[in-house]
Structure 1
Amino acid sequence: MENNAAQRAAETLLAEHKANARFRTLAPPDGPATVSDAYDIQERYVALLRGRHGDTVGYKVGLTSATMQAFCGIDHPIAGVVLAGRVHRSGASVRRADFGRLGLEFEIAVRLKSDLPVIAKPWTSDAIAPYIDGVCAAIELVDDRSADYASLDVRSLVADNSWSAGIVLSEFSAKWPDLEAVPGRASKDGAAIGEGHGRDILGHPFNSAAWLATQLNSRGTSLKAGEIVMTGSVMKTVFPEQAAGYRFELAGLGSVDVQVH
């Protein structure tokens, strides 16, 4: 995508977030015509965010279920960037007023122990596994800015950093159970609100990390040591409407909590 157009689109996104404007499709001539264009805009938008939210510390992978991909009219996941100032520890408090519309996604996060090389062929779950040294329960904070899902443009979603607005992490574990079979359960003020398994994330969370590594390689970059990958949600997104405490428990891995005000 032409650099000036991508920069203008990124500045439009920044202004819309500051104004708490509802999510909308980025219109021509600056809007993305392709998914690649969308990532060009995302790169520039994230660069604008770094002054306030810090450097890149990881990534999120979204649309990891066939149902959500079909809903959005694509056949692959999407990625966004996680910035240092948006990383929270378990027990953190967040305010709905700080988001256009806050959503919570209940996920498995992984951490890289060493840099991944840029390679020509796609990464696989088996190939990326030796590079992962930690796994934990996590909650992603997403901001869909009250998007109209009936007319959702996934390219504009990607440009908007795939709605990444923060992550809440439990402690990483160096040992983990079978992640394909591991059950995860979410609760609100102690009452169950949903559940899923690691296999609900592209069959296995490492498949999600492998997809991301391949996507980054296609753009000439790669995952780095210490970076975190939010691999995707095991259940549907929850949109809090009032103050409440949320917990996500992964069997054999622990739990993560966030308080919404």
Structure 2
Amino acid sequence: MNTHEIGTSAKALYQALATRKPIAPLTDSDPEMSISDAYEVQRLMMELRLRETGEHIVGKKIGITSQAVMDMLNVRQPDFGQLTSGMRFANGATIPLDGLIAPKAEGEIAFLLGRDLSGPGLTSQDILDATECVMPCFEIVDSRVRDWKIRIQDTVADNASSGAFVIGEGRVDPRSLDLAAVSMTFERNGEEIGRGLGSAALGHPLNAVTWLANQLGELGVSLRAGEIVLSGALSAMVVARAGDRMRIELQGIGSAEVAFA
């Protein structure tokens, strides 16, 4: 993609975000779009979002961490997006669906960084040493691409299909847990509808955050102290509908709740 095409794609995605009117997949008009092109679209789209809304970056999210999603998109690597202050909702908050397009909820383990991380070359131990705590989290993914008809390039360009997130109750030292063995239960309207393990995120949540820190390092970007990192879904996505109340419980960490209207 040339500079003009990248800029046009970024503006189209931001317009879809602002108007809640989804667009056709970018890869329909440019099937040769590379993942590098897609990250450049993401960068410009997020610059536009921050400029237009006054939001600021509060962290990162990692996506495509499960084998099922990798198989669906026919890729063998995760992706990442940026979290903004406007995406964060309080635990137990009701999220208005008219601010989103086609939202789906995921339960995750979130990392709060206590110091900066600059890759490449970082190990899982480096990530562990830099983590202040882990927390239960809902990520609400959303797609500005119509009907979720995405290839990897489409979701990368669309800020890894980020929508909103909720940090729940519980702040735990990750050195006290086997994060891969942490179990999660997912309830909707009081009924259990899913279970998962920490190992669903690239085999171990630390693997996911290590990948992110090193990938960002290759781009000359550091993770900063105080940032939140969402490490990947532990079970299948759940469509969010008006009237739904959802709750996750992460064994040894805590719980998170969110509602939709």
TM-score, normalised to structure 1's length? 0.92
Gaps of 5+ in 2: none
Structure 2 partner of 1:41: 41
Cα distance in 1, alignment partners of residues 144 and 92 from structure 2: 24
Structure 1 partner of 2:152: 154
Structure 2 partner of 1:249: 249
Gaps of 5+ in 1: none
Share of identical aligned residues, percent?
31
Partner letter of residue 97 of structure 2? R
Cα distance in 2, alignment partners of residues 172 and 213 from structure 1: 24
Match status 1:175 vs 2:183: no
Structure with greater helix share of residues: 2
The structural deviation recorded for 1:244 is: 1.6
The structural deviation recorded for 1:10 is: 0.6
Structure 2 partner of 1:196: 196
Partner letter of residue 160 of structure 2? S
The structural deviation recorded for 1:116 is: 1.1
The structural deviation recorded for 1:18 is: 3.0
Structure 2 partner of 1:186: 186
Cα distance in 2, alignment partners of residues 155 and 32 from structure 1: 10
SS at match of 1:74: coil
Partner letter of residue 224 of structure 2? K
Conserved 8 A contact 2:41-2:157: yes
The structural deviation recorded for 1:145 is: 4.7
Structure 1 partner of 2:17: 17
Conserved 8 A contact 1:111-1:135: yes
Cα distance in 2, alignment partners of residues 230 and 124 from structure 1: 18
Structure 1 partner of 2:135: 136
Query: Alignment length, in residue pairs?
Result: 258
Conserved 8 A contact 1:59-1:229: yes
The structural deviation recorded for 1:76 is: 0.3
The structural deviation recorded for 1:189 is: 1.6
TM-score, normalised to structure 2's length? 0.92
Conserved 8 A contact 1:31-1:156: no
Partner letter of residue 65 of structure 1? S
Cα distance in 2, alignment partners of residues 68 and 30 from structure 1: 22
Conserved 8 A contact 1:93-1:258: yes
SS at match of 2:80: strand
